[in-house]
Amino acid sequence: VQKPIRNYDVGELRRLDLAHHLPAQSDYKLQRELGGSRIITRAEGCTITDAEGKSLLDGMAGLWCVNVGYGRDELARVAYEQMLELPYYNTFFKTATPPPVRLAAKIAEKMQASNPALTHVFFNSSGSEANDTIFRLVRHYWALKGQPKRKIFISRKNAYHGSTVAGASLGGMTFMHEQGDLPIPGVEHVLQPYQFGEGFGEDPDAFATRVANSIEERILGVGAENVAAFIGEPVQGAGGVIIPPDSYWPKVEAICRKYGILLICDEVICGFGRLGHWFGHQHWGIKPDLIAMAKGLSSGYLPISAVGVSSEIVNTLVEHGGDFVHGYTYSGHPTCCAVALANIEIMENEDLIERTRTVTGPYLAKVLKRLENHPLVGEARSIGLIGAVEIVSEPGTNKRFTGKEGTAGPIVRDLCIKNGLMVRGIRDSLVMCPPLIITEAEIDRLVDILHQSLNEAE
């Protein structure tokens, strides 16, 4: 396929960006100071290129999503053919189209590999919407079960569950709560399993117990009869790639079961291979009642998200209610679903999940670990193809630079970008989440650039 290489007038685009465009999750003062955004114009494999011709290794897979890498003409072709046949139709009039039906069955197959109870799938366009759907579905479920008081969601501090009112409320980022007077009532935030930051030097199992117990304490504090569900990302992504100790998730699951509350896994980042499994929770062998998924579901080629739902919830809806008055114009969008299905087929055909678990994931872990010899690195951790580097002021500690806490990540990130690598700086850490097609040679380059940029920051 001949791919277009267009020339853009960078000056004009940056001028229009400043004059008319409010980019999402951005600092608009900084946008002005920088004279507009960096304009990315094309990408291939694991490499993105900007309008000025600078290429960067994409250590973030876009925004934790381009799992199969860029430039997949088979996905473009599927979208083109679906648009010619039926670009759009909805599910509001007792109707469905082939792509969402087939995609739901495919997702059910992946969920049921470890948990046969997860039978059904509800579609939306974004991860935030998936969590909004869960918010309403769960409360509706408990009302239908005759327990309408069960309304409270327990989540973690520093969790990210999206940007909508419900998503940002479920999330535990206080700087997000400050904008828009959030969280809405009915969301409780408990400790996060951030061992490096909040359990440094503590025995991992003792730390996991302490953190999981904060859930039980909160359940008892608000009254178990008022709690609807616990929600968590298997690995917190935007919070700084927080990988819990191994015994954390089984303990959380046991607490949920003890009090009869639903367990929700937000798999928006961890799903579709990121941790070397179809879903991140499968790494710990737990069985959630609901799953939110997005991003890797279509590798970001088109916007789509989904909610995986257990048969118990579906049967309750059918037997006690019937209707669920919730959904979006683009729920089950045929073109998005067709592309997502083809994306999953690429992952299957190229064994990307298995490769992440057995080859590239362990390789990233091995080379990243070497960074722990660097005097600025307190920890370099990863699982599958997602990882983080903690920047510290004294080797062997978790001490940050006094008076500059929270700034080291963005400083080193800017150096990485200058040196040809796109990563994200989150407070005092750098996080990475490359496409699952990344090669060992590209992983070497990623870690070399991290190393070089840390040297330049010293």
The binding site for ligand PLP (CB under 6 A) comprises: 126-128, 131, 160-163, 233, 237-238, 266, 268-269, 294
**Residue with smaller CB distance to ligand PLP, 78 or 170:** 170
CB 386 within 8 A of CB 407: no
CB of 169 to ligand PLP, least distance (A): 12
- Of 70, 114, 435, 126, nearest to 278 by C-alpha is 114
106 Cα distance to chain centroid: 20
| Minimum CB distance to ligand PLP, residue 129 (Å) | 7
Q: Cβ closer to ligand PLP: 69 or 240?
A: 240
d(CA 1, CA 46): 19
Taking Cα atoms as reference points, which of 216, 229, 218, 220 lies closest to residue 142? 229
Distance of CA 20 to the CA centre of its chain: 29
Of 161 and 400, the one with the shorter C-beta distance to ligand PLP is 161
Distance CA 335, CA 333 (A): 6
**How near is the Cβ of 277 to ligand PLP at its closest, in Å?**
16
Residue 161 or 333 having the CB closest to ligand PLP: 161
CA dist 265 → 111, 155, 280, 393 (Å): 12, 11, 9, 35
Residue 346, φ and ψ in degrees, nearest 5: -60, -45
Q: How far is the CB of 307 from ligand PLP (least distance, A)?
A: 12
Which lies closer to ligand PLP via its Cβ, residue 240 or residue 334? 240
Backbone angles phi, psi at 389, to 5 degrees: -125, 125
Residue 399 dihedral angles phi and psi, to the nearest 5°: -80, 135
Type of residue at 376? L
The rounded distance, in Å, linking the Cα atoms of 146 and 91 is: 29
Burial (0-12, 13-18, 19+ Cβ within 10 Å), 312: middle
Distance of CA 56 to the CA centre of its chain: 22
How far apart are CB 7 and ligand PLP at their closest, in Å? 31
Q: Which residues fall within 8 angstroms of residue 293, CB to CB, at 6 or more apart? A: 107, 127, 130, 267, 268, 271, 272, 279, 305, 306, 307, 308
Residue 177 DSSP symbol: H
Which of 210/427 has CB closer to ligand PLP?
427
Distance in Å, CB of 426 to ligand PLP, minimum: 12
Q: Which residue is nearest to ligand PLP (CB)?
A: 127
Which C-beta is closer to ligand PLP: that of 331 or that of 453? Answer: 331
Q: Which is nearer to ligand PLP, 153 or 160 (CB)?
A: 160
SS3 of 239-269: the string is CCCECCCCCHHHHHHHHHHHHCCEEEEECCC
Q: Which CB, 168 or 377, lies closer to ligand PLP?
A: 168
Minimum CB distance to ligand PLP, residue 162 (Å)? 4
Rank residues 170 and 376 by Cβ distance to ligand PLP and give the closer one.
170
Q: Which residues contact 439 (CB under 8 A, 6 or more apart)?
A: 360
Our CB check for ligand PLP shows the closer of 367 and 433 to be 433
C-alpha–C-alpha distance, residues 45 and 439, integer Å: 10
What's the closest the beta carbon of residue 22 comes to ligand PLP, in angstroms?
A: 16
Cα–Cα distance measured from residue 39 to residue 52, given in angstroms and rounded to the nearest whole number: 8
- Could you tell me the smallest distance in angstroms from the CB atom of residue 316 to ligand PLP? 25
